[in-house]
Amino acid sequence: MLTAKINDKEYKIEFSNNNLSEGKINDKNFILDIEKETEHSLHVISDNVSYKVTITDINTDTKNVKLKINNKKYDVTLTDELDRMLKTMGIKSKSGQAKKELKAPMPGLVVNIPVKKGDFVKQGDTLLVLEAMKMENNLKAEHDLTIKDIKTEKGNSVEKNEVLIIFE
């Protein structure tokens, strides 16, 4: 079972198939017709209503997903059984740790690096701008940090999970 927290409201989701198109949300059955349009967008039909779903950001460490559904923005936090078990045992998940590096979330082209070695950066400040699929993605600091080293340059093509910036 998966729990999705959207705008401070929780939904308990159970899927009954591997393609995630059938199951229950808060014990109510659902069936979705899902068609992938691009790597980050879907066309979904539920109860004869059409939805254009765009994934605008994914943070795999915090299990947070930012969605745009029919041009309305949603911030979704996902929790699974392992997360709940770790919480009851008093163990912090990976998201509780301060990151020591910024990795490319997807392949792309570095179009801007507004920071330099030695800079102190506040949480939410842009560290690097990565162009992927004709979209510019601002990669931001998840906590206050100091730049220890920059492992790429403007104009470089990078691969997914490539280390871009190291923090102190």
**Whole-number Å distance between alpha carbons of 50 and 67:** 15
52 and 7 assigned to the same domain? yes
109 and 155 assigned to the same domain? yes
The pTM assigned to this predicted structure is: 0.51
Instruction: Classify 49 as helix, strand or coil.
Output: strand
Question: In a structure prediction context, what are the per-residue pLDDT tens digits for the chain, which is 168 residues long?
Answer: 889 999 789 999 998 877 788 999 999 999 999 998 988 899 999 999 999 999 998 887 788 889 999 999 999 998 888 777 767 666 555 545 567 899 988 899 999 999 999 999 998 899 999 998 788 889 998 888 999 999 999 999 999 999 999 998
113 and 155 assigned to the same domain? yes
19 and 68 assigned to the same domain? yes
Full residue range of the structural domain in which residue 115 is found: 98-167
Last residue of a domain, which of 85, 109, 144? Answer: 85
CATH code where residue 160 lies: 2.40.50.100
Buried b (16+ CB within 10 A) or exposed e, 19-34: eeeebeeeeeebeeee
Q: Is residue 91 part of a domain?
A: no
**Whole-number Å distance between alpha carbons of 30 and 136:** 35
55 and 14 assigned to the same domain? yes
- Sheet holding 108-112: strands in order across? 135-140, 126-132, 108-112, 157-158
